[in-house]
Amino acid sequence: MTSRPLDRRQFVQASAAAGAVLALPALAQTNFPARPIKLICPWPAGGSSDIVMRALGESASKALGVQVVVENKPGASGMLGPNELVKAAADGYTLSQITIGVARLPHMQKMQFDPLRDFTYIACLTGYTFGIVVKADSPHKTIADLVKFAKANPGKFSYGSTGNGTTPHLAVEEFASKAGIQLTHVPFKGSSDGLQALLGGHIDAHSDATGWAPHVEAGTMRLLATYGSKRTKRWPKVPTLNELGYDTVSDSPFGIAGPRGMDPKVVRKLQDAFKKTLSDPAVLAAFEKYDQPVIYMDSEEYTNFILANYVKEKRTIERLGLGMKS
């Protein structure tokens, strides 16, 4: 059954209910975990998210004493993992990566879940660094070049992203709106698909997290801009969209969630285990490889973060004219 997103009048009630969801376990569990845990990565194998999630899973396995098995479910803008949680038992053995998309996409289309009611948010762990890249031989060497071309050729400049409604998609739409240009968006299932399309000349640019980093380092792609509030340490010469005057900042924390109604003791054990992963050198090396900072929030903080962003994302979607059509 499809859940309908809550309106603002219901938000306060949902905020109170979110705490209750965490406090209503389906079954008390004293020996958790007693078997392997499935951790869904809702992106294709081999991409930056997959590599980071596998590092987290391996580290959490050591902390929990059972294997944390990463399972890829790519597609639907990263929402196949959350969809799986709606159907899963609230026993802690099925978890998924959760992106900010769970607070955004319900304002854009009908979903199988309601983010304010259907999940137990366990912990936020890190966040993405986003940017837009072109091939090294592209005539568009700067954002100014891109804007100039797009103004002269409306709709003829194409860019890829990891899916409709994802942060890489909306950040470029926000930039395009501020720049007064029209671009053509091409959604992909994940980073690797979009990057291959760019290298193959099928799109003009790709907006994504730092899965493009090895290509930039190898000289096969050029990074035009990043989307954070400040320049990255790794590419200090590359400007942000914000400093270029387009008033666009997109930071995107992500974490781990399970089904609604999990036992608070199980939530605490998982929360503590994933917190421990953030001091694992292998995890930190994966973060560094893709320029991802440590952004830790415990279960309560992460729940409140999602609730607040549900309201914030609604305003953004409405401003960009991307909301559901009645």
For 81-101, what is the mean pLDDT?
A: 97
Element (DSSP H or E) covering residue 286: helix 281-289
Categorize the per-residue pLDDT at 169 as very low, low, confident or very high, splitting at 50, 70 and 90.
very high
Instruction: Tell me the pTM.
Output: 0.78
Q: Do domains 8-127+252-320 and 130-246 have the same CATH topology?
A: yes
Task: Supply the pLDDT for residue 122.
Answer: 98
CATH architecture of 130-246: 3-Layer(aba) Sandwich (3.40)
pLDDT of amino acid 316: 85
Contact 79, 101 (CB under 8 A): yes
Q: How confident is the model at residue 326 (pLDDT cuts 50, 70, 90)?
A: low
pLDDT digits 0-9 by tens, 111-123: 999 999 999 999 9
Bridge partners for 126 per DSSP: 254, 294
Model confidence at 126: pLDDT above 70: yes
Q: What is the pLDDT of residues 134-165, one digit of tens each?
A: 999 999 999 999 999 999 999 999 999 998 88
Q: pLDDT tier at 252 (50, 70, 90 boundaries)?
A: confident
Return the DSSP state at 243. Answer: I
Tell me the domain boundaries of the chain: 8-127+252-320, 130-246
Q: Is the pLDDT at 211 greater than 80, yes or no?
A: yes
Residues contacting 30, CB < 8 A, separation 6+ = 265
- What's the CA dihedral at 292, 114, 188, 288 to 10 degrees? 10
Tell me, what's the pLDDT at 12? 46
The CA distance from 238 to 141, in Å, is: 11
> Alpha-carbon distance 27 to 93, whole Å?
13
C-alpha to C-alpha distance for 248 and 242, rounded to whole angstroms: 5
Pairing between β-strand 158-161 and β-strand 184-187 as defined by DSSP bridges: parallel
CATH 3.40.190.150 fits 8-127+252-320, yes or no: yes
> What is the pLDDT confidence band of residue 216, given thresholds at 50, 70 and 90?
very high
pLDDT digits (tens, 9 = 90+) for 25-71: 444 556 999 999 999 999 999 888 999 999 999 999 999 999 999 99
User: What backbone phi and psi angles, to 5 degrees, belong to 198?
Assistant: -65, -50
**pLDDT tens-digit series, residues 272-304:** 999 999 999 999 999 998 888 899 999 999 999
The pLDDT of 303-323, averaged and rounded, is 90
Q: Higher model confidence: residue 92 or residue 251?
A: 92
